[in-house]
């Protein structure tokens, strides 16, 4: 396509409009060839001439510019924060295995459930940042990160800058759906990652540890111009929802449809009909993983029949029709240079090995947890030892064994008798060492504040670890109650805050002043109280005052709470320091919202357990309906269970319910209730 010089004045002619559309189509085609297929047809100079011509044409005639024009990828939008987005469909995690025998058991179960010929779609398991892309009438309308699987961060402006992502679906081969939701992964190729780090090094800026961190950090930039400058790509592998498009019957057909619409998919996808073929694909891809050009940590096995997938459904976390078959952890030898002890939110002391930096699968590892004193003694680990280190699941560094050597070794490591943060004598609890100093210990204070603002607690946006450390170091925050006394004028005196970020954090704290009671209870960090127990306590007592006044006998009356939890909760609220912090929170405007009185109806005071996949709602939505009806949910079946809701492919909970004589209902009955 020969570039032409566009006119500089007047209204665009029909020829100008045709030229602009041809340029856009041609640039999209070259983007797809280069960023998706790795098969460029023209050199960079020729591509730049086409792009410049389109820029000049749209500049001369602004009315010619379209929202999905390739020129709109350059970025420029700066956001104060990412909006929360609810996904079209849940973005579930995968059950994962490393044992070939587990793959065989997965195959046996599916063949039993499907009762017919079984085929699989096999794909690489990408190691990147999971995304949902939503297209409306063929145009990219929204992009979001996975988040908690139900809600994520809206990163549309950033994803629009990624050249492998089509802003408009290609028409022609297949009908373009009126709505299409796609799941994919933001990744960075190894050669692009190396170039990016080289550029950052020249600019004297911090380097990324690995391609995955680089991809995740680049997508989550508040300034889309930064994202546009990063060599990101996206690989897609699943259709989450489709409306008004072709009727697709298999996973392979779905991947082919995505490719026809110019959505990037893995060229390494394959089909298998037996466990032997799956194992062969796994061996082949593991042997070639370092030559693929991008990071993978295993393969994904998916039932090919889409209708069968829908019938099998999902568990609370995983689809029943898919499995991740991970590669063996990458292992390397290195030296323990030092052992340091960290103090966590609950006061637990954790020994951590500082290692001579070693690259494991492209990731530089310099630290690994040693868990506790008994684990160190079992492996006989000492400073100066050469050890084998793996990245468990290709993610978490773990010291697996010491390499036997001759010669003298350092003395055995001993856990400190006093807390390294505050000097308080340490107490032993089984294999664990713990500092009993509570929030008077700086390390526990930092952990408590971070937990207080976490998503399941008060969900204070912007209260990350670095911010917490700065607040504690400055003396502005000496307890969680001090958060509610912070002013923007205080924050701007700290290095990491400007006017906008200071106002944003104060606004986020203000929004957290009226939390649901269960969230406030969970945020306080009551020992042995997770989110479900916090909900149970809030529902039973109805107010913070009644909960704080409850003795152990009253606490044992709460469904699902035994003697140990009752003792822990009662003891927590008896502590003067805890009551002082709660009083300070209330004095500074915190108003925990009274739990709604249990509604009358079939769920009032009842315990409900779910098993199997639900078709009309997610597990989270179903549990919310039970709680709204005055009931509680549990993850296990006991004689105290009132109902078990059995969905498709119900598991062992159904057998337990039948054995104990617990009432079992189906999803249709549950919806009527």
Q: Residue 382's closest CA among 339, 349, 334, 433?
A: 339
Structure tokens given for 327 = 């590669």
626 Cβ contact list (under 8 Å, min separation 6): 603, 606, 608, 632, 633
Measured from the Cβ of residue 198, the count of other Cβ atoms closer than 10 Å reads 11
Q: Residue 98's closest CA among 399, 285, 395, 324?
A: 324
Strand, coil or helix: 268: coil
Q: Residue 136's closest CA among 62, 67, 55?
A: 67
What are the angstrom distances between the C-alpha of 219 and each of 239, 305, 364, 436, 640? 21, 33, 22, 41, 47
Cβ atoms 325, 103 nearer than 8 A = yes
Structure tokens given for 7 = 């006119």
> Given the DSSP bridges, would you call strands 396-402 and 348-360 parallel, antiparallel or unpaired?
unpaired
Among the residues of 313-464, which ranges form H helices? Answer: 373-379, 442-452
Residue-wise DSSP of 202-257: HTT-PPPSSHHHHHHHHHT-SBHHHHHTS--EEEEEEEEEEESS----BHHHHHHH
Q: Measured between alpha carbons, how far is 223 from 382 in angstroms, rounded to an integer? A: 46
Q: Report, as residue numbers or ranges, the catalytic residues.
A: 125
Measured from the Cβ of residue 640, the count of other Cβ atoms closer than 10 Å reads 11
Q: For tokens 């950033």, what's the residue? A: 158
User: Residue 141, class by beta-carbon neighbours within 10 Å (0-12 exposed, 13-18 middle, 19+ buried)?
Assistant: middle
């Amino acid at each position: 396509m020969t570039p032409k010089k566009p006119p500089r004045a007047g209204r665009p002619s029909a020829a100008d409009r045709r030229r602009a559309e041809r340029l856009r189509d041609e640039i999209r085609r070259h983007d797809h060839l280069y960023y998706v297929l790795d098969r460029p047809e023209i050199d960079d100079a020729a591509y730049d001439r086409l792009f410049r011509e389109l820029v000049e044409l749209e500049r001369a005639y602004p009315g010619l510019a379209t929202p999905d024009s390739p020129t709109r990828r350059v970025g420029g939008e700066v956001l104060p924060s990412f909006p929360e987005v609810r996904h079209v469909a849940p973005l579930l995690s995968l059950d994962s295995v490393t044992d070939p025998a587990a793959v065989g058991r997965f195959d046996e179960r599916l063949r039993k459930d499907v009762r017919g010929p079984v085929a699989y779609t096999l794909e690489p398991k990408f190691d990147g940042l999971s995304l949902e892309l939503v297209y409306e009438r063929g145009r990219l309308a929204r992009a979001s990160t996975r988040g908690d699987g139900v809600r994520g961060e809206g990163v549309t402006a950033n994803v629009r800058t990624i050249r492998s992502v089509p802003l408009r679906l290609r028409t022609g081969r297949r009908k373009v759906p009126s709505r299409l939701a796609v799941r994919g992964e933001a990744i960075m190729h190894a050669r692009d990652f190396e170039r990016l780090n080289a550029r950052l090094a020249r600019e004297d800026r911090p380097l990324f540890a690995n391609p995955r961190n680089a991809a995740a950090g680049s997508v989550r930039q508040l300034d889309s111009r930064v994202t546009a400058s990063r060599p990101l790509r996206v690989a897609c592998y699943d259709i989450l929802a489709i409306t008004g498009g072709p009727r697709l019957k298999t996973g392979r057909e779905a991947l082919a449809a995505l490719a026809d619409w110019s959505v990037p998919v893995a060229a390494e996808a394959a089909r298998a009909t037996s466990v032997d073929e799956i194992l062969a694909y796994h061996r082949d891809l593991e042997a070639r993983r370092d030559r693929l050009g991008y990071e993978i940590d295993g393969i994904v096995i998916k039932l090919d029949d889409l209708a069968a997938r829908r019938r099998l459904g999902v568990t609370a976390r995983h689809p029943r029709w898919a499995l991740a078959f991970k590669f063996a952890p990458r292992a390397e030898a290195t030296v323990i240079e030092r052992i340091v002890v960290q103090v966590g939110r609950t006061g637990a002391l954790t020994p951590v090995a500082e290692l001579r930096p070693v690259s494991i699968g492209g990731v530089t590892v310099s630290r690994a947890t040693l868990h506790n004193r008994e684990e160190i003694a079992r492996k006989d680990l000492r400073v100066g030892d050469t050890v084998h280190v793996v990245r468990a699941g290709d993610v978490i560094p773990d010291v697996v064994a010491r390499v036997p050597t001759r010669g003298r070794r350092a003395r055995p490591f001993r856990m400190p008798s006093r807390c390294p943060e505050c000097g308080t004598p340490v107490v032993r609890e089984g294999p664990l060492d713990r500092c009993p100093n509570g929030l008077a210990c700086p390390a526990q204070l930092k952990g408590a504040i971070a937990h207080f603002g976490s998503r399941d607690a008060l969900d204070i946006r912007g209260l990350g670890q670095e911010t917490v450390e700065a607040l504690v170091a400055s003396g502005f925050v000496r307890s969680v109650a001090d958060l509610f006394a912070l002013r923007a004028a205080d924050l701007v005196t700290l290095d990491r805050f400007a006017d906008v970020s200071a106002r944003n954090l104060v606004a986020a704290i203000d929004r957290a002043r009226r939390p649901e009671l269960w969230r406030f209870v969970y945020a306080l960090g009551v020992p042995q109280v997770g989110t479900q127990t916090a909900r149970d306590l809030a529902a039973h007592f109805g107010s913070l005052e009644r909960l704080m006044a409850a003795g152990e006998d009253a606490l044992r009356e709460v469904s699902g709470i035994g003697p140990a939890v009752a003792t822990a909760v009662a003891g927590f609220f008896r502590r003067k320091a805890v009551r002082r912090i709660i009083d300070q929170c209330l004095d500074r405007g915190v108003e925990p919202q009274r739990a709604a009185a249990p509604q009358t109806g079939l769920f009032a005071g009842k315990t409900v357990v779910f098993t199997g996949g639900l078709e009309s709602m997610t597990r989270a939505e179903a549990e919310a309906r039970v709680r709204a009806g005055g009931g509680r949910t549990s993850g296990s079946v006991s004689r105290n269970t009132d109902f078990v809701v059995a969905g498709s492919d119900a598991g062992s909970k159904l057998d337990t319910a039948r054995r104990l004589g617990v009432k079992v209902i189906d999803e249709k009955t549950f919806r009527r209730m």
